[in-house]
Amino acid sequence: MKFDVISIFPDFFSSITGSGLLKRALAEGKVEIRIHDLRGFTDDRHRTVDDRPFGGGPGMVFKPEPIFRAVEAIRAAAGEDAFPVILLSPQGSLLTQRRVEELARQRQIILICGRYEGVDERVAEYLATDELSIGDYVLSGGELAAAVVMECVTRLVPGVLGNAESAEQDSFASRWANAEEPHGERGLLDCPHYTRPADFRGIKVPEVLLSGHHEAVHRWRRQRSLEKTLHRRPELIERFPLSRHDREWLEGIQRATGRAAPR
């Protein structure tokens, strides 16, 4: 997996590539991250990347030419152009785990980081293949958003997570995917996790987890996942393909709490 990031703040990325999962994945050659300074694709003495907005108004807008040149140079170096060119934008489609899984199947991804008022709309219309938002809030630049994309995609690149870490058990994971709606947003929130000590200041780990009874542990985890999802993210459970056992369990919760159980 190769990430090509276009930014006016290339130094920003040293903080995220210098520790943890990304550092390890880079060292092992599982991913490659190349940061391209947008100013390197300007053609004036002042290395200008932005200009005032047509029609007036506050702030500055990233000019299209340096961004087009940067993407064209990356494509030319790769010898192909059939990979995603993602413009990070609060107006883009929301980044979800399903989207992350799709991106993890790519060989190369270009990430364009905006700043100021944003990026000339022709980049979104004629250059980017996707616009992605990491949430309904506004950051001052796309660098943090690009870092989020690289971090969550990298952990799904085969071989990056060790045996001790499993992405399949995570919240939102598509182990729950339904063949009838393969692109739908599926998944439950993960169950609670505990580790030693079994008794911390009198707060005890649920007995079943110490029982060594695998089936009971599995059932407990499934029920906690359903329960957490029902209370915190009911819209996820509404779209989830519930089994008969799931439904019975949720109806039990409904009887106990007076909450509506999903169908």
- Residue whose CB is less far from ligand SAM, 59 or 206: 59
Least Cα distance to 154 among 19, 7, 35, 24 occurs for: 24
| Least distance (Å) between residue 227 CB and ligand SAM | 30
| Least distance (Å) between residue 165 CB and ligand SAM | 26
- Confirm whether 241 is a catalytic residue: no
Buried b (16+ CB within 10 A) or exposed e, 198-227: eeeeeeeeeeebeeeeeeebeebbbbbbbb
| Least distance (Å) between residue 124 CB and ligand SAM | 10
Residue whose entry in the numeric block shows the structure tokens 């690009």: 146
- Residue whose CB is less far from ligand SAM, 114 or 187: 114
Binding site for ligand SAM (CB under 6 A): 88-91, 113-115, 117-119, 133-135, 137-142, 145
What are the angstrom distances between the C-alpha of 185 and each of 86, 90, 192? 20, 20, 22
- Confirm whether 130 is a catalytic residue: no
Nearest position to ligand SAM, beta carbon? 114
CB-CB contact of 195 with 164 (8 Å): no
- Residue whose CB is less far from ligand SAM, 117 or 185: 117
Task: Choose, from 24, 69, 75, 155, the residue flagged as catalytic.
Answer: 155
- Residue whose CB is less far from ligand SAM, 128 or 250: 128
Bridge-based pairing state of the strands 85-94 and 130-133: parallel
| Least distance (Å) between residue 87 CB and ligand SAM | 7
Q: Which residues contact 98 (CB under 8 A, 6 or more apart)?
A: 172, 174, 183, 184, 185, 186, 187
- Residue whose CB is less far from ligand SAM, 102 or 131: 131
- Confirm whether 170 is a catalytic residue: yes
- Confirm whether 105 is a catalytic residue: no
CB-CB contact of 186 with 176 (8 Å): yes
Task: Choose, from 37, 65, 102, 117, the residue flagged as catalytic.
Answer: 117
Task: Choose, from 101, 130, 170, 185, the residue flagged as catalytic.
Answer: 170
First vs last C-alpha separation in the chain = 40
| Least distance (Å) between residue 95 CB and ligand SAM | 8
Task: Choose, from 53, 84, 90, 192, the residue flagged as catalytic.
Answer: 90
Q: Could you check whether the bond before residue 206 is cis, i.e. omega within 30 degrees of 0?
A: no
Q: Which residues are catalytic?
A: 90, 117, 155, 170
